[in-house]
Structure 1
Amino acid sequence: MLAKPSWKNPTIGQIAAEAKVSTATADRVLNGRPGVREATRKKVEAALFRLGKPEAVGELSPEKRRIAFICEAGSGFLTLVEKEARALIAARPDISFTLDSVPNVQVDADRFSLTITRRARECEAIILVSRDHLKVNRAVREAVDNGVHVICLSTDLPNSRRSAYIGIDQISTGATAGWFMGRLLPQQSGNILLVYSSTYRTQEEREVGFRRVLREQFPWLNVVERVNINDESDGAYQSVKKFLASNPPMVGIYNMAGGNRGVARALKEYQLQENVIFIGHELSEESRLLLESGEMDIVLGHDIRTEIQHCLELVNRMRRGEAVASVKTPLHVFNRYSYFP
């Protein structure tokens, strides 16, 4: 409940105009009376901050901003996100962070959506990495309705009413992978293996772009199968090995998920590493070594640190009541001769 101060400056009218609500609604919020939605209450409190009277707000008087990172992904990508998030946390003592990360092989949709709901009660913004799931979408919608900013990082949830998406254009990324695949291979028929994991919007959009380019520009290449893995190297190894044991050799593999080391291991066991173009994602120490050894041909990446910084900038803008839009970040392409930062 808000403290009940004397309203000399700013006036209730000024606060109502800044928050874009009626004076009656502003009065109810300022005097702690019921009948106001949580999202509206937070709009009025934010307006009060912008007008320069933070001492009047009991719950939000100067304290650290609270931002929650909530991530579920393969362990390789989680390691990248956690590394950059922890570096950011150390550099920003003015912000109170929490970090919940769950390998996707351990994810339970009920528990994960409850984590979103619980953190939404504690923070003003959530930076979220998650597959596209009905229960997750519902938890995000509830958080946004209650005035919490939710920014999707790297993989989008467009049906959740999230505040914004930060990351590369995934359809364009998949199209880029398709273009490299077609250009690196001879102009003759051949089979391409697609490797994917869970229902991440990221991977679905990559596949759309990849297939589109092959169909339009390289029709002699045929996508013969999609192998489902769990974003982990061991799972990728077992899945690709099983495919290779019962199918004719392919000319290319596009791994839209994690587990690049496992894919490379399976190719090496079948002595196909010299004959198969292997394209995957995320520049890590592991994928860098695979590029340098020639076991991978192309890695498509992005700057996670910059993307997280974009997230914080959007939180600051939304806190000031400004309109925000999603930010598409540049795609980075690496081969064995690239400079690795």
Structure 2
Amino acid sequence: MADVAKAAGVSLATVDRVLNRRKGVKTRTVERVLKTALDLGYMSEAEHARLAKPRPPNVAFLLPMGTNPYLRLLGEKVRAVADTRSREAAPLRCFFIESFDAAALAAAIRHHARWADGIAFMAIDHPLVREAAEEVSAGGTRLVTIVSDLPHPSREAYIGLDNQAAGRTAAHLLGRFCRPSQGSVALVAGSRNYRAHAEREMGFLGLIEEAHPGLRVIGMREGHDDRNENYRHTLSLLEQNPDMAGIYNVGGSSDGIARALRERNKAGQIVFIGHGLTPDTRRLLIEGTMDAVINSDPDAIISEALAQFSLTPEELSGQRAGHRPFKMDLILRENLPPAQAAPKAHSRRSQDQSL
């Protein structure tokens, strides 16, 4: 390697980066190092041909840490995909970071941009995050938002539901399921800092006001996708509103809401709609505590994100940045898909730590 570095006129570190297909080396430098290595007999023609091919992108997924079962499932699925990739494939990793913390997300974006060619992340709509996104994008790291968007020129695409339509769908179902269509309805969310939750709330409120005037909407409670917070919020809502007719969980951790409904003997009496098909919401649908789950397929999110990062510069130039149409699945007890085995837990302990 030292001979290759000397003959190519580069540092030993650059040779190492080229041979291990790490980011940060100009195309012309890669070509020069590989040709030198071939001429010196350091590698075979076959090895040269393999390394001369376009390097697949290193990809990082950044997800909020916490008890949200859907996000945990999404993370485990990313890791399951990573475990099936060949040794020749570029690294694919998933990291959980502090939830609802814009500074932590911004720091993680900057940190992983050092090695990742592409970062897929659930965005927090905050100036710190927008600034970090603009900075790493200018440095060549490609960004895709998933589940919750950050409309900004620095990101290539958003992959996830039309969240305003999801909120309107929840309102339509809740209004039609409530008989008579009167009483109080409550919303529980993770945080309005996630544009997805704010847009779902907006869509829900718009349709309830338009189509179900007999339902009185109680101001949204933020439970931070924590089952214990959701449990306490639901107990408070039930105590303060004896006429409670429905609950829409805009975020995750629906099991906390269900626990409160069961304790107050309201399970099956109050219409309950939420997001994300996971083992807990599946169980709640079967037992009748939940009426409907609005779902976006986590496998499809991962596949779409990886497909986006695999686009060439020529293909990107012909693509209009924005929201890729994404299918919304409406799951009821009677159309539950077959249960899938949970992905195996990943052994990389460092990927479970906050950054």
TM-score range, shorter chain: 0.7 to 0.9
Question: Could you say what secondary structure the match of 2:116 adopts?
Answer: coil
Matched, 1:251 2:248: no
Matches within 5 A, 1:153-172: 153-159=146-152, 161-172=154-165
Q: Quick one: structure 1 residues 57 and 125, their matched pair in 2 at CA, closer, same or farther if it must change by over 3 Å?
A: farther
Matched, 1:340 2:337: yes
Q: Quick one: structure 1 residues 233 and 160, their matched pair in 2 at CA, closer, same or farther if it must change by over 3 Å?
A: farther
**Residue type at the aligned position of 2:255:** R
Matched, 1:134 2:122: no
Q: Which moved more, 1:300-309 or 1:216-225?
A: 216-225
Contact 1:73 1:130 in 2 (8 A): no
CA-based RMSD: 2.7
Matched, 1:279 2:276: no
Question: Could you say what secondary structure the match of 1:251 adopts?
Answer: strand
**Partner of 1:266 in structure 2?**
260
**Partner of 1:55 in structure 2?**
31
Q: Percent identity?
A: 31
Contact 1:149 1:162 in 2 (8 A): yes
Matched, 1:289 2:286: no
Offset, 1:305: 0.8
Q: Quick one: structure 1 residues 305 and 4, their matched pair in 2 at CA, closer, same or farther if it must change by over 3 Å?
A: farther
**Partner of 1:229 in structure 2?**
223
Q: Which moved more, 1:278-287 or 1:316-325?
A: 316-325
Q: Quick one: structure 1 residues 56 and 213, their matched pair in 2 at CA, closer, same or farther if it must change by over 3 Å?
A: farther
Q: Quick one: structure 1 residues 166 and 273, their matched pair in 2 at CA, closer, same or farther if it must change by over 3 Å?
A: same
Question: Could you say what secondary structure the match of 1:210 adopts?
Answer: helix
User: Aligned pair count?
Assistant: 297
2: CA distance between counterparts of 1:209 and 1:108?
Answer: 25
**Residue type at the aligned position of 2:237:** F
**Deviations for 1:36-69, whole angstroms, at most 9, x for unmatched residues?**
xxxxxx8x957x7xxxx962478x9665531111
Question: Could you say what secondary structure the match of 2:265 adopts?
Answer: coil
Question: Could you say what secondary structure the match of 1:165 adopts?
Answer: strand
Question: Could you say what secondary structure the match of 2:235 adopts?
Answer: helix
1: CA distance between counterparts of 2:330 and 2:194?
Answer: 21
**Higher RCO (CA < 8 A, seq sep 6+):** 2
Question: Could you say what secondary structure the match of 1:329 adopts?
Answer: coil
Matched, 1:148 2:141: yes
**Residue type at the aligned position of 1:280:** G
**Residue type at the aligned position of 1:259:** S
**Partner of 1:68 in structure 2?**
60
TM-score, with length taken from structure 2: 0.76
**Deviations for 1:272-330, whole angstroms, at most 9, x for unmatched residues?**
12321000000000100000000100000011111211111111114555233431210
**Deviations for 1:67-86, whole angstroms, at most 9, x for unmatched residues?**
11111154313311112101
Matches within 5 A, 1:1-341: 45=26, 55-56=31-32, 65-72=57-64, 74-75=66-67, 76-93=69-86, 94-102=89-97, 104=99, 108-159=101-152, 161-198=154-191, 199-320=193-314, 322-323=316-317, 324=319, 325=321, 326-341=323-338
1: CA distance between counterparts of 2:211 and 2:328?
Answer: 21
1: CA distance between counterparts of 2:175 and 2:330?
Answer: 16
Consecutive unaligned residues of structure 2, counting only runs of 5 or more, are: 9-23, 35-50, 339-355
Consecutive unaligned residues of structure 1, counting only runs of 5 or more, are: 7-41
1: CA distance between counterparts of 2:298 and 2:112?
Answer: 22
1: CA distance between counterparts of 2:181 and 2:332?
Answer: 24
Contact 1:227 1:240 in 2 (8 A): no
Q: Quick one: structure 1 residues 226 and 69, their matched pair in 2 at CA, closer, same or farther if it must change by over 3 Å?
A: same
Q: Quick one: structure 1 residues 124 and 77, their matched pair in 2 at CA, closer, same or farther if it must change by over 3 Å?
A: same
Offset, 1:338: 1.4
Q: Quick one: structure 1 residues 234 and 57, their matched pair in 2 at CA, closer, same or farther if it must change by over 3 Å?
A: farther
Contact 1:151 1:162 in 2 (8 A): yes
